[in-house]
Amino acid sequence: MAVVLLWLAPPPALAEGMAVNRAEVRFSDDGYQVTADFGIHLNFVVEQALTHGIPLYFTSEFSLTRPRWYWLDEEVAHREQSTKLSYNILTRQYRITRGALFQNFDSLEEALLVFGHQVFPPAALSQIKSGSNYVAAIRMSLDITQLPKPLQVNALATKDWDLDSGWYRWTVRPAASMAKE
Amino acid sequence: MKYLIFISAITGCILLYLLSSASANTDLFSRNYYGLLAVAGVLALSLTLLVGYQLWQLRNKLKAKIFGAKLTLRLALFFTLIAILPGLLVYAVSVQFLSKSIESWFDVRVEKALEGGLNLGRSTLENSLAELSKKGRFIALLLAEQGPARHASTLLRLVNEGATQEVALFTKDGRLLAFATSRQGMRVPDMPSATMLEEAVQKGVYSNIDSMPDNSLLLRVLVSFTPSRLVGGDMRILQFTEPVPKQISEDEETVQAVYRDYQELTLSRLGLKRLYAITLTLSLLIVLLSAVSAAFLISDRLSAPLEALAEGTRAVAQGDFSRQHPVQSSDELGALTGLFNQMTLQLSEAKTTSEQQQQQVESAKAYLESVLGHLSSGVLAMDGQFKLRSVNASAAQILGVSLSEMEGISLHELASRYTLLRSFASAVFEAFAESTGGEWQRQLERTSKNGNQMLLIRGTWLLTGGIEGYVVVFDDITHLLLAERQAAWGEVARRLAHEIKNPLTPIQLSAERLQHKLSEKLAAEDAQLLQRATQTIVSQVAAMKNMVMEFADYARAPSPKMSTLDMHGLLREVLGLYEANHIPIMLHLHATATTVKGDATRLRQVVHNLLQNAQDALQGIAEPEILLGSANKNAMLELWVQDNGNGFPENLLARAFEPYMTTKPKGTGLGLAIVKKIIEEHGGNIRIENMGTGGTRVSFTLPLLEVT
């Protein structure tokens, strides 16, 4: 079993926005598992929309590529998952929904903390080669297209809705021996 | 161009349909709206460029002053105004209406009502929760007094009695001790989280409303109690859960959903306005630009026939009648084009006719001129101021002046320019001044280059077509007069010869008889006298007879005996007689055709006479020489005799062929006259001229016999 980890130092505290705090990919003989912690700080506009009951959809993406000098990089794996953050006005509860699962929170901070911890379920990976370098990349962003239509126009016009961590990339090297970067 | 606009319009329509449907359809919108906006924007931009290009083209046309460009501009402006003004009006109203209607959705009362509904729901739930907590605390007190062993049965009894719907008992750290529920099939309660337990332990009570996955609501109350001292032991936590009635939860959900939608709209009202405004603006831009572009195209097409007509008119103005313009439309412009074509056709026909007429006139004029030119009479046509209008060739020849380029010059001026014409001009003026009926006829003797000339002049005053003019026709009758004179001379000579010859013979016979009878009777001295006198009489009579014979010969003019002759042969025959002559005769016989029809005797006499004249002219000349030549000229045989003597006196040249004109001391003056007569009898011409080098040349022509 091989484990490749990446620890990222906490980024400079953001007033608002998103950033990758920590990301980790574990390789095993069967496949791999990805976990990442995102620091999420909603700005006033987004938070207002949320507290008025408008659900926010966040998309987190992971991709694993093998760089090739002679051709385009080969994408070994690409995964995407959508997480919904909503607020129940009646019960004053925040809720995180991922698929059929959901969780209620009384405070936004608590909810964001849990929300920021993204775990991609284990998946099988057949074409991995031990000993060669791979580039892992992760990103989380607010899915504007899932917003109500009129708000999309707002999102287009202002930067307030541009919540995007951007791609974070790091090199991993699945190997027989333990490697740490 | 028109296809471009057509394609733009079609694309615009499709885009507008997509845009409007995208505004309604969320899924399509979210995926493609920006793409649609971009495509529409690009279309609007390209339409703008198209309109700009059309404007630029029109400006170029205006600059080049192409006919119809101004009309195109005006029409385009009108069409554009007609398209733009209502469009802008509708746009303004739409924008106003849009913002007003969107604003009208947001009403403080609606918001208050929604919040009130929400609050109502919340207080209902809170009331239920408070009731449940109260009930919970009461049951907790009840349980606290009982021993732990009886807790489970008490709970079951409470549920069965309907005091509560579901109850569970936990230890402080969340271990399940007892559970009772009225719901069928529930074995395990909804487990509380650690934070809930902790709060229940600290504050004695915890209450909360949970929303379940199926959106139903669950009231949950946690109450902590400590069992009685009798029993002793740890703190226990009692959990009561109770689902909110379905009706209430559904109503709550409805209120919440409406509130959410309302808030959504509130938050995005600016965006909505922008969305509709952008769609509306783009639609307007595409529609208006298409309209403007089409307006330019239509204006251009409307004014195109005008341009074609203008071009046609220009062509007609330059004399090109060949252009026919196709009639493209059935409206008035088409009719105008048709009329224009008709007009061009008629003009072309008229031009052809006038050209034909002009040609006819010209040919008639040429015919008249050729007739005039072949007249032997000279003709001068003049206008009212005696300026020459037309002159024929004979006039110039008779007057000895080149008149062909003198048209427009008056007779006065001609007279002052050529001194020889003065007498002619003054005679003409005088005659016109004197004549009463406008017509006159008179003879004029004038000096010409070739000596005296006798002219018969007829003048007419004309008034044709309101134009005054004079026509003078004249003939050179010098030769006619000469012939008349010769005829008269012949008659005189014949009669004189006849009258003189008759007494001569008796005179001679009488004289001879006198001598014969008297010579023997007289003394020798007297006989000799008689002899001499008789001799004189006889010789003089013989001379006189001879002279009379010549006269008779000249006057009698017996009909010639014509036969075919070789002139060169005849010349050599005559020259044989001159072989012993001391004056050399040079021969220049270049003629190739020498056969003529003539009287050999008479022609021989001609050659004799001419050679004799030449010999006479060369008396006392240092190196005398006679030239005899021949040549072919215009189907005639020309022969000449030339000497290198002193030449013929100039003043006598013109009358050289008249009888009794002689320069010789002993001549009858009939030589050349006879020669001329013979030559004219043979249909030829004779001419005498002084050579520039000295000497005289007499040349005559004889018609050649046609070779059959």
The CATH T-level fold of domain A4-180 is Immunoglobulin-like (2.60.40)
Task: Give B-chain residues touching A102 at CB under 8 angstroms.
Answer: 213
Q: Which of B367, B415, B365, B361 is CA-nearest to residue B388?
A: B415
Residues 276-295 of B with CB under 8 A from A: 278
Antiparallel, parallel or unpaired: β B166-171 and B236-243: antiparallel
Q: Which CATH class is domain B129-255?
A: alpha beta
| Mutation choice for A interface testing from B263, B276, B281 by most A CBs within 10 A | B263
The tens digit of pLDDT for each residue in B545-603 reads 877 777 777 666 566 678 888 888 888 888 888 877 778 888 888 888 888 888 888 88
C-alpha B652/C-alpha B662 separation (Å) is 9
Extents of the domains making up chain A: 4-180
Extents of the domains making up chain B: 2-105+268-303, 129-255, 375-475, 482-556, 563-703
The helix/strand/coil state of B284 is helix
Paired tokens of B149: 């062993």
Cα nearest neighbour of B263 on chain A: A52
C-alpha B519/C-alpha B512 separation (Å) is 10
Sheet with B439-448: strands ordered across: B388-391, B378-383, B467-476, B451-464, B439-448
Residue B269 contacts A, CB cutoff 8 Å: yes
Q: How many residues does chain B have?
A: 708
Q: How far is CA B85 from CA B49, B79, B509, in A?
A: 21, 10, 148
Question: What is the ipTM metric for this complex?
Answer: 0.70
Are the beta carbons of B211 and A88 separated by less than 8 Å?
A: yes
Decide: B210 and A97 in contact? Cβ < 8 Å.
Answer: no
The helix/strand/coil state of B238 is strand
The helix/strand/coil state of B649 is coil
Residues 90-129 of B with CB under 8 A from A: 118, 121-122, 125
Amino acid identity, position A88: N
Which residue among A89, A146, A153 places its CB closest to the CB of B275?
Answer: A153
Q: Which residue has the tokens 């490697």?
A: A179
Element (H, E) at B179: strand B176-181
C-alpha B463/C-alpha B459 separation (Å) is 13
Q: Between the CA atoms of B141, B143, B144 and B150, what dihedral angle is there, to the nearest 10 degrees?
A: 170
Average pLDDT of adjacent 10-residue blocks, chain B of 708 residues: 77 76 60 76 88 89 83 86 88 86 79 88 88 88 79 84 84 82 77 83 84 78 77 77 84 84 79 77 84 84 79 82 74 82 88 94 90 85 84 82 77 82 85 82 80 84 81 86 80 80 87 86 85 88 81 66 85 84 84 85 86 84 86 86 83 76 68 83 84 84 75
Q: Which of B427, B429, B422 is CA-nearest to residue B382?
A: B429
The tens digit of pLDDT for each residue in B225-276 reads 887 755 556 788 888 888 888 888 888 888 888 888 888 878 777 777 777 7
The tens digit of pLDDT for each residue in B432-468 reads 888 877 788 888 888 777 667 888 899 888 887 778 8
The DSSP annotation for B474-514 comes to EEE-HHHHHHHHHHHHHHHHHHHHHHHHHHHHHHHHHHHHH
The DSSP call for residue A14 is P
Q: How far is B262 from chain A, CA to nearest CA, in Å?
A: 9
Q: Which of B557, B546, B547 is CA-nearest to residue B490?
A: B557
Which residue among A53, A102, A153 places its CB closest to the CB of B213?
Answer: A102
User: Looking at the domain that runs over B375-475, which CATH code has it been given?
Assistant: 3.30.450.20
pLDDT tens, residue order, chain A (181 aa): 445 555 554 444 455 678 888 888 887 777 788 888 888 888 888 888 888 888 899 999 998 888 887 888 888 888 888 999 988 888 888 989 888 788 888 888 888 888 888 888 887 776 667 677 888 889 998 888 888 777 777 777 677 888 888 888 888 877 543 333 3
Task: Give A-chain residues touching B129 at CB under 8 angstroms.
Answer: none
Amino acid identity, position B603: L
Element (H, E) at B661: none
C-alpha A2/C-alpha B3 separation (Å) is 67
C-alpha B639/C-alpha B661 separation (Å) is 23
C-alpha B349/C-alpha B343 separation (Å) is 10
Domain B129-255 and domain B563-703, same fold? Reply is no
C-alpha B356/C-alpha B195 separation (Å) is 125
* A101 beta partners: A98
Sheet with A31-41: strands ordered across: A117-124, A31-41, A17-27, A4-6, A179-180
The DSSP annotation for B157-217 comes to HHHHHTS-SEEEEEETT--EEEEEESSTT--S--PPPHHHHHHHHHHSEEEEEEEPTTS-E
Antiparallel, parallel or unpaired: β A4-6 and A179-180: parallel
Cα nearest neighbour of B24 on chain A: A149
Q: Which of A137, A31, A153 is CA-nearest to residue A75?
A: A137
Query: CB atoms < 10 A from the CB of B263, how many?
Result: 19
Predicted pLDDT at B354: 94
Residue B275 contacts A, CB cutoff 8 Å: yes
Q: How far is B26 from chain A, CA to nearest CA, in Å?
A: 6
Homologous superfamily of the B563-703 domain (CATH): Histidine kinase-like ATPase, C-terminal domain (3.30.565.10)
Are the beta carbons of B256 and A89 separated by less than 8 Å?
A: yes
Report residue B599: phi and psi, to 5°: -90, 115
The tens digit of pLDDT for each residue in B48-81 reads 898 899 889 889 988 888 777 888 888 888 888 9
C-alpha B664/C-alpha B632 separation (Å) is 33
| Mutation choice for B interface testing from A90, A97, A142, A160 by most B CBs within 10 A | A90
